[in-house]
Amino acid sequence: MTPPFRLPWAGPLPLTLALAGLLALVQQQLLLRQPPRLERLTPVAASSGPAALQARFSRPMDPASLQAASTLAPPLAHRWLGDGDTLLLNLSPDQRISSPLQLQLAGRDRRGLALAPQRWQWDPRPRLLAVVPVGAGEQVQLREHDGRWRPITPVWPRITMLEPLGYGEAVAVVARSESGRFRVWRVPLRQQPLRPVGRGRPASPAPVQAGAPEPLGAGEMVFAHISANRRGELLVQAGGEQPDQVSLQLWPPRGGPSRLPLEASGAVRLLPEGGSAVVPEIDGLGLQDLPPRPSRRQTLPGSRDLSSFCPRAGRALLVRHWPDFRRSLELVEPGVAPRQLWIGPQALVATACSRGGERVWALLVEGVGRPALTLISLDRRGTVLAQRRLSQWELEPGTGLSYDPTSDRLAVVLRPLEQGQGPPLPAQVVLIEATSLTPVPLQLEALQAVWLPAG
């Protein structure tokens, strides 16, 4: 009997492979016809403007289409930057943000398929943190956008340092006990700077929520200094009774610390972008790469102190001390020798800068007995843009300037000068318009103040 004729590809395995290939082809065609989706939208640090958002899509998008179809209310100038499936919405510099922004997101991918329109509420404005005297102790309080102050930490006998971590997801505090010993605490924070808008969602975001303080380290120390970066890492420089008990520990956002084998003659500061630290040396300032990077160290000779960092990576302000007792303010940029912006006999007690140093602010003190406080603003060439004599104020010792690009304001703690023979007046938080240099007291007694990033 003759067996039935069979095609060579009609067996079970070839037929299965053929069906799988056909199914994959059908799925590919279906995916090609699907519209793009927004997979993630997150706030990011902006070094060239007051705020930015990073958007990740399921497919490569057409930036020009997003620029034309998306809107912001209020209508602030902005640009979509990048290429592919991840793009950056960047607000143009020198714009003030006085309320939450409404983002209507729309556009097309490179195939011309439309993204489903969606609405988001985005509030990039930072909140203000202050160390406030409460009874016989001190407490960290947070100022909401409506002007109300509320506590986010317990009351400690003394708070010597306050440092926001990352993009505002926590704050680190150095607290001193009644016995004079120090301990470092990390207070987790939860913010909602960005949220979708739609049916069933609350009209306004929830206030900042603070968690229970978490102690860092095994116990109290003789001294402690902290520094943080945008990665959420915290450097704790602390010491015990003996000189050989000084330690440098780098705490990640989660998990235990790693010990850094660095030698420093002063307070070590982390670079905001992470990966390196500025290390004071006897003969200058050192820039030290941190693990897991290969060990590499650069030194800038001379009698210099790090004053403040600029938002753009690698930019910082240094104070240089000269043999004739003058001081100068220098702008440092990668691969360029320090640029002198100002020099004079006055004491340079605090600085701040915008972007890559396009604008710089400096507080100067001169005179004895009743020192005079002056605030100046400079451009990156050292030209004086504005100057104001703060004749009724003095700077609270140990504090500095903190700049907010969304409102174009500086936060500082100033103490009113005594009028007559009365008791010393308490220091208070003062906001200063960064262009006109006009001070606006907030009428809150405080010892430190700093802006908390919105996320």
pLDDT tens-digit series, residues 185-213? 999 999 999 999 976 666 677 889 999 99
Of all residues in the chain, the percent with pLDDT exceeding 70 is: 90
pLDDT at residue 206, rounded to an integer = 80
Residue with tokens 């001193």: 176
Per-residue pLDDT band at 3 (split at 50, 70, 90): low
Name residue 361's amino acid: W
Condensed to tens digits (0 to 9), the pLDDT of residues 273-309 reads 999 999 999 989 999 999 988 889 999 999 999 999 9
pLDDT at residue 22, rounded to an integer = 62
Condensed to tens digits (0 to 9), the pLDDT of residues 163-178 reads 999 999 999 999 999 9
Condensed to tens digits (0 to 9), the pLDDT of residues 142-162 reads 999 999 999 999 999 999 999
Is the CB of residue 171 less than 8 Å from the CB of residue 129? yes
pLDDT of 363 over the 50 cut? yes
Residues 194, 207: Cα–Cα separation, whole Å: 13
Which residue, among 13, 124, 7, 17, has the nearest Cα to 76 in the 3D structure?
A: 124
Per-residue pLDDT band at 369 (split at 50, 70, 90): confident
Per-residue pLDDT band at 421 (split at 50, 70, 90): low
Per-residue pLDDT band at 10 (split at 50, 70, 90): low
pLDDT of 244 over the 70 cut? no
pLDDT of 66 over the 80 cut? yes
pLDDT of 78 over the 60 cut? yes
Structure token pair of residue 343: 């020099």
CB neighbours (10 Å) of residue 249? 17
Is the CB of residue 196 less than 8 Å from the CB of residue 119? yes
Is the CB of residue 217 less than 8 Å from the CB of residue 223? no
Name residue 246's amino acid: V
Q: What is the mean pLDDT of the segment spanning 304-317? A: 96
Between residues 204 and 400, the one the model is more confident about: 400
Taking all residues of the chain, what is their mean pLDDT, rounded to a whole number? 91
Q: What is the mean pLDDT of the segment spanning 55-84? A: 96
pLDDT at residue 9, rounded to an integer = 47
Q: What is the mean pLDDT of the segment spanning 315-320? A: 97
Look up residue 298 and give its DSSP letter.
E
Which residue, among 413, 423, 398, 417, has the nearest Cα to 444 in the 3D structure?
A: 413
Per-residue pLDDT band at 7 (split at 50, 70, 90): very low
Between residues 18 and 106, the one the model is more confident about: 106
Burial of 129: CB neighbours in 10 Å, binned 0-12, 13-18, 19+: buried
pLDDT at residue 375, rounded to an integer = 98
pLDDT of 422 over the 80 cut? no
CB neighbours (10 Å) of residue 144? 12
Residues 349, 390: Cα–Cα separation, whole Å: 14
Longest dimension (CA), the chain: 127
Number of alpha carbons in the 13 Å side-chain half-sphere of residue 247: 14
Q: What is the mean pLDDT of the segment spanning 114-131? A: 96
pLDDT at residue 18, rounded to an integer = 61
When mean pLDDT is compared across 79-83, 129-133, 415-419, the lowest value belongs to: 415-419
* Residues with Cβ within 8 Å of residue 281, at least 6 apart in sequence: 264, 265, 299
Is the CB of residue 395 less than 8 Å from the CB of residue 427? no
Is the CB of residue 364 less than 8 Å from the CB of residue 350? no
Query: Which pTM was predicted?
Result: 0.90
When mean pLDDT is compared across 368-372, 407-411, 426-430, 440-444, the lowest value belongs to: 368-372
